[in-house]
Structure 1
């Protein structure tokens, strides 16, 4: 994302914060969830209407004209908070139309995560999204069904809703359904990205751990404490059991990998002998 779009996102995010902050405390939770859902719906509309999305990001027209167009199209169809965000977004100079759409998606996700935070569910949402990614990555048929470009987005969402119904929070389901309807990467990667965004909202670092066997709660807590001291900020540990490691752990934090597994040591030994 170029500088112009980064600045446009900053301004639009500020408008979102102001819009949600102006809502009374009792209605704030509903407003955040509603705004997130409505921003997703707006993006779906823009995805389907090339002329409209081009007009809203056309830097050859004035920002005021684009704001007026956004109000004309969406007034009465979304809440006042969402409309305020859309008008500010339309009035910015974006480097590309895709930057505008992707930023609206991001702000929709952040709104839903705020709703989760207000309900003290943010940690649960993060964990559910991580586990969903592992489920999809471990089921080739499900991954193929969700990533098949020939399958309508509605069919993918229906499939995912059946899988998730009654098993996850409403925010997790909304985020996951939006992601599969507009995939830019493999489904498991998309869910991991959402889990990382949830962690970022909690101002924590995510450690993805592969272990030869399941960790006890005490072991997981001890590992999290060690990594927290290492990285200087709270670390959330997500553990995936991988018997092929034989023993030990592989820890990934961002681009850094710490391989303490037997399989890793054997691979290093083989390399040293060649």
Structure 2
């Protein structure tokens, strides 16, 4: 019960006022509501030595929500009261045998009217886990899907940009609006090499000249 209350208090502090309790060292600084809740859960899990367990359980919960349209709509609807959502989450936690820290975290989200943000908060938590493992997310967006040989060559080239001790987790996306070229996002760095951006640049130059 002490762990339950401690984690709940920590998250509430994050969502309302400055945190007075010192957090465990975080591998990544995240901001906003999602970042604050994710950081609070990560810190509590580190202190309780349940990081891997919590990581596994919250992602299992996210997968459950994403694959159950009725549950997803129920949790997202503002028409449903917090108490109803809290009770539903409690039943899920019991049936899935979540540990107290995980169950309490979702309970606090329900009580604070934040359960509809759970997917985004879990995504933020996953970013922290990747950072802890030395993983850096790299998102490559192209106008059309690359061939297997091209994609393999590109990924090999991008891995060369990873700092010592770090590994790139490369995600490929397609956006026809780019027209051609690509957009690469590595960590907090963003490189736009798309034809669309070049056209916009030239259009702006022409407008200024005219």
- Normalised by the length of structure 1, the TM-score is 0.41
CA distance in 2, matches of 1:271, 1:234: 38
CA distance in 2, matches of 1:223, 1:153: 50
Shift of 1:203: 0.8
Residue 202 (1) aligns with residue 125 (2): no
Distance 1:273 1:237, change over 3 A: same
- Normalised by the length of structure 2, the TM-score is 0.51
Distance 1:272 1:99, change over 3 A: farther
Residue 266 (1) aligns with residue 206 (2): no
- State the 4+ residue runs in structure 1 displaced beyond 6 angstroms: none
Contact (CA 8 Å) 1:40, 1:105: kept in 2 or not? Answer: no
Shift of 1:234: 1.2
Contact (CA 8 Å) 1:207, 1:237: kept in 2 or not? Answer: yes
Residue 114 (1) aligns with residue 52 (2): yes
Distance 1:115 1:264, change over 3 A: same
* Runs of 5+ unmatched residues, structure 1: 1-37, 54-94, 136-141, 163-169
Higher relative contact order (CA 8 A, sep 6+): 2
Q: Report the counterpart of residue 225 of structure 1 in structure 2.
A: 156
SS in 1 for 2:202: helix
Shift of 1:225: 2.8
Shift of 1:230: 1.6
Within 5 Å, give how 1:1-274 maps onto structure 2: 42-44=6-8, 46=9, 96-97=19-20, 104-109=40-45, 111=49, 113-115=51-53, 146=76, 152=82, 155=85, 178=106, 181=110, 183=114, 189-215=120-146, 219-232=150-163, 233-274=166-207
Shift of 1:113: 4.7
Count, aligned residues: 168
